[in-house]
């Protein structure tokens, strides 16, 4: 379909920046073609920290969607926000203004047209980009819209224990996913603008759901909890979801690491979140697949027939563990877990004939399912927002 030729990955490598031979990448691809034959795409491998995947993935995204408004066509919502937040991480590592401008173009469109939204938690996640742009520019327009995001929490529906509904279409339900959608925004907002209330709210939500979905024996989190016990998936006694979903737990793990980054150690919530992180890190480490270094779609049932390795949650775990070690939240033993995962994650990346990267094996967006078989029946998609996010976030730490 594409012809038999090797493509050059866009973006300058670290070797190029140091003035070394800038053709090495082309030689590598040529060797790959000779060894593995003619095909539509070539498998890439590389040691942790040497390949500059973050830049290559970010550049491939921008080449495929030069207009950021066409990324997912879902508007002001997390599926766009997680890609752009991943690119933000690469910008902070490289200082390349192309990445900054790409994010700014997307955010400014919604501010200028007043089409940003805050109806549910999925609409809060892009607020993290407002805070990034405010830090970079000092422009009050970003602070104003961020303040509106925080103000929206005053009227957000809650269950009787004070937990935010994930969406109005899921009454009384709290999902692990929702902590990432709102928590890091709230804590960083409070940090930047000296407001305690959003920080307290984030910690309340994070610890409340943990008290319901954390298995203290395994360190694993069930996907969610229904206060009403009326959801089809909810245990009639506990309200718990039946399974431990890879990406659901990965959202929560990333949220803990990112919130801790903006909490002073003197804050009472700091030790609470740190304790939670250390508990779930055990569960993450113990469920890593020894063969691939990655994690299964249903994390604790790797030997279940038909279970499969999931890319996005794996990338998010690598980010969370690697970042936590760098920040001193976890001991050095978890770095080996992250490195092994990073080596495995690179096997999920290929280069197409046009030189752009593709990321494989990401499960489609999904809610809480009624059984393990329903989780395993979901589609696996190439070049999906969540997969881009996972790889970009992992690369931002591991390279």
Q: Which residues of 27-55 are buried (b: 16+ CB within 10 A; e: fewer)?
A: ebbeebeeeeeeeebbebeeebeebbbbb
> Residues 60, 99: contact at Cβ < 8 Å?
no
SS3 state at 351: strand
Nearest to 127 by CA among 105, 113, 144, 139: 144
Q: How far apart are CA 32 and CA 317, in angstroms?
A: 30
Q: How far apart are CA 224 and CA 216, in angstroms?
A: 15
Cα-based torsion angle of the residue sequence 306, 283, 242, 180 in order, rounded to the nearest 10 degrees = -100
Q: How far apart are CA 385 and CA 383, in angstroms?
A: 7
Q: How far apart are CA 127 and CA 274, in angstroms?
A: 24
- Out of 122, 177, 226, 300, the active site residue is 177
> Residues 311, 294: contact at Cβ < 8 Å?
yes
φ and ψ at residue 380, rounded to 5 degrees = -110, 125
Q: How far apart are CA 396 and CA 320, in angstroms?
A: 11
Q: How far apart are CA 305 and CA 175, in angstroms?
A: 26
SS3 state at 175: strand
Helix 246-260 with 385-398: angle, nearest 10 deg: 40
Name the pairing type of β-strands 220-221 and 214-215.
antiparallel
139 assigned to active site: no
> Length of the chain, please?
399
Q: What is the CA radius of gyration of the chain?
A: 21
> Residues 389, 85: contact at Cβ < 8 Å?
yes
> Residues 218, 283: contact at Cβ < 8 Å?
yes
HSE-up of residue 192 (Cα within 13 Å, Cβ side): 23
Which sequence positions are flagged as catalytic?
Answer: 177
């Amino acid at each position: 379909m594409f012809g038999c030729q090797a493509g050059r990955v866009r973006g300058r490598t670290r070797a190029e920046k140091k003035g070394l031979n800038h053709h090495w990448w082309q030689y590598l691809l040529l060797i790959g073609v000779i060894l593995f034959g003619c095909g539509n795409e070539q498998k890439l491998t590389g040691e942790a920290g040497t390949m500059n995947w973050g830049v290559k993935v970010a550049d491939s995204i921008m080449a495929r969607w030069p207009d950021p408004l066409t990324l997912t066509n879902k508007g002001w919502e997390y599926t766009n926000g997680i890609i752009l937040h991943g690119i933000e991480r690469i910008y902070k590592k490289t200082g390349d203004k192309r990445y900054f401008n790409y994010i700014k173009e997307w955010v400014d469109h919604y501010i200028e047209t007043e089409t940003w939204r805050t109806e549910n938690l999925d609409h809060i996640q892009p607020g993290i980009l407002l805070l990034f742009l405010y830090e970079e520019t000092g422009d009050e327009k970003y602070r104003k819209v961020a303040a509106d995001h925080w103000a929206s929490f005053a009227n957000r529906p809650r269950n009787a224990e004070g937990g935010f509904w994930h969406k109005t279409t899921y009454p009384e339900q709290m999902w692990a996913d929702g902590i990432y959608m709102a928590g890091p925004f709230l804590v960083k907002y409070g940090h930047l603008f000296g407001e305690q209330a959003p920080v307290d709210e984030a910690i309340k939500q994070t610890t409340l759901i943990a008290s319901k979905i954390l298995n203290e024996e395994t360190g694993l989190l069930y996907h969610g909890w229904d206060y009403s016990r009326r959801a089809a998936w909810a245990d009639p006694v506990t309200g718990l979801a039946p399974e431990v979903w890879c990406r659901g737990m990965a959202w929560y793990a990333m949220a803990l690491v990112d919130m801790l980054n903006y909490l002073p150690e003197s804050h009472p919530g700091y030790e609470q979140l740190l304790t939670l992180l250390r508990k779930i890190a055990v569960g993450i480490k113990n469920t890593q697949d020894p063969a691939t270094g990655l994690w299964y779609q249903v994390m604790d049932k790797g030997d279940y027939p038909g279970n499969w390795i999931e890319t996005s949650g794996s990338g998010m775990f690598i980010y969370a563990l690697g970042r936590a070690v760098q920040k001193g939240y976890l001991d050095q033993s978890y770095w080996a877990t992250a490195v092994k995962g990073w080596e495995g994650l690179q096997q999920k990346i290929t280069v197409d004939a046009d030189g752009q990267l593709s990321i494989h094996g990401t499960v489609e967006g999904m809610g809480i399912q009624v059984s393990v078989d329903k989780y395993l029946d979901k589609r696996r998609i190439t070049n999906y927002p969540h997969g881009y996010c996972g790889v970009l976030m992992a690369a931002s730490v591991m390279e």
